[in-house]
Amino acid sequence: MCLLLLWLFMTIKTSCKVYLIDFSCYKPPVSQKCTKEILIKNAILMKKARDGGLLSQGTLDFMRKLLERSGLGDSTYMPEIFSDDQRYTPSIKDSRREVEMAIFGSIDKLLAKTGVRSEDIGIVIANCCIYNTIPSLSSIIVNQYNLRENVASYNLVGMGCSAGLLAIGLAKQLLQVHQNTFALIVSTESITENGYLGEDHSKFIANCLFRTGGAAILLSNRPSDYHISKYHLLHTVHNNTSRSDRSYNCILQEEDTAGTVGVTINKDLLTAAVSTIEANLTALGYLILPMTEKLLYVTNYITRNLLSGYKIQPYVPNYSKAVDHFLPHVGGKPVLNELQKTLRFSDAVMEASRMTLYRYGNTSSSSIWYELAYVEAQGRVKKGDRVWQMAFGSGFKCSSVIWRAMKTVDYDDNNPWTDEIAGFPVTLNKCEPMPVFFEPTKKN
């Protein structure tokens, strides 16, 4: 019996701790900066260059109103092809150049910062929603950095803005199997071939919100990396409401009535987002909320059911008692407003998200890393702090990841905010809601 117990003790593997050694965000060259006025001008020129047509005045007015009220500033970045007003005939080569600039730019900085050798990386996970090339992005990374032949490589496509945190969850599971190794995660998006130049307003929303960006993240399960890592991974929570037609169809790539492909964002998005996020909050709250908040929530729930005739408001737990930094995906201004209202967070709590939306726009799954870089650049991450990243996207899906800071984060030359953080936060103008937001153009 003693020998059997000893054998079980020696063979059963305990769960590995997962550490985030460091991460890096891609900052495109200044030549790719795009103001709101330039974006509109280029849309007109690209439409003319592509098929000799003109965008209607109604569509141009819609774009102007949308951009004015989007929460984006005038220093976001667009792919190189969007600055070429003589043509808009994007090729596979143009798309590949866009994603390679973001991927290689972020990985090069990450490897330089950490000193990790390419041959020591055992897991690679790349994610990009719309762009799906052959060979895959993960294969492009393996080839570029000459990774070893037995590297475990995965490529996530079509999973929207939540894919970056889904990749963290996948890496966590893989690191429980592949011992003593590093996992490289790369998140980006491709805009080059996805500029919509039709007349369906619901498909212009993606044009106006999404921008160029990317991030590379290095995870480790090696105990020896405990002292050099920035964060310790505590929790990952993922949920998916795709079984609901309303959630499934709220963000959809499809043709308009003229056969022009675009991404439709319809009026069901806010409803789908709220219901999916609420389910994620419930699961996460069970893991991180202090007992007092759980008791208050349960008491309120029971009371509302027993006294259903009375209008008792649901109790919203105070998540600020469980985390020090809340970093939700920037999405769009209406989604951030609704999230802030639901969780009753202050403007200070939402600052990193709103400033990221203003400075970099919606860079899809990499947005949350620009947010974390923002709070680091502000010197706000202290040893022991808990960081909550939340991302949501098409499907509809929502993911939450909780990290604990292993140390106080110091100054970093490679932080994308470093050379301009003194100018933030900026004061955002209050404006009216977005025009006809999430409503498709009515057919005649």
pLDDT surpassing 50 at residue 442: no
d(CA 156, CA 126): 6
Question: What pLDDT was estimated at residue 434?
Answer: 62
Question: Span 313-334, mean pLDDT?
Answer: 91
CB 190 within 8 A of CB 98: yes
Q: How confident is the model at residue 167 (pLDDT cuts 50, 70, 90)?
A: very high
% of the chain residues with pLDDT over 70: 92
Question: What pLDDT was estimated at residue 106?
Answer: 98
pLDDT surpassing 90 at residue 74: yes
Q: Which of 124-128, 263-267, 434-438 has the lowest mean pLDDT?
A: 434-438
% of the chain residues with pLDDT over 90: 65
Q: For residue 338, what are the CA distances in angstroms to 42, 138, 344, 367, 392?
A: 32, 35, 10, 18, 13
Question: What pLDDT was estimated at residue 308?
Answer: 78
pLDDT surpassing 50 at residue 67: yes
CB 207 within 8 A of CB 60: no
Average pLDDT across the chain, whole number? 89
For residue 345 the two structure tokens come to 């967070």
Question: What pLDDT was estimated at residue 104?
Answer: 98
d(CA 24, CA 107): 7
Q: For residue 415, what are the CA distances in angstroms to 24, 75, 199?
A: 7, 17, 39
Question: Span 1-30, mean pLDDT?
Answer: 73
Question: What pLDDT was estimated at residue 9?
Answer: 45
Q: Which of 86-100, 139-153, 322-336 has the lowest mean pLDDT?
A: 86-100
pLDDT surpassing 50 at residue 10: no
Task: Write out pLDDT tens, residues 348-383.
Answer: 999 999 999 999 999 999 999 999 999 999 999 999
Question: Span 96-114, mean pLDDT?
Answer: 96
Q: How confident is the model at residue 432 (pLDDT cuts 50, 70, 90)?
A: low
Task: Write out pLDDT tens, residues 187-237.
Answer: 999 988 888 888 898 888 888 899 999 999 999 999 999 999 999 999 999
Q: How confident is the model at residue 1 (pLDDT cuts 50, 70, 90)?
A: low
Q: How confident is the model at residue 84 (pLDDT cuts 50, 70, 90)?
A: low
Domains and CATH numbers, the chain: 19-225 (3.40.47.10), 237-423 (3.40.47.10)
Q: Name the pTM for this structure.
A: 0.93
Question: What pLDDT was estimated at residue 54?
Answer: 83
Question: What pLDDT was estimated at residue 273?
Answer: 87
Question: Span 407-430, mean pLDDT?
Answer: 92
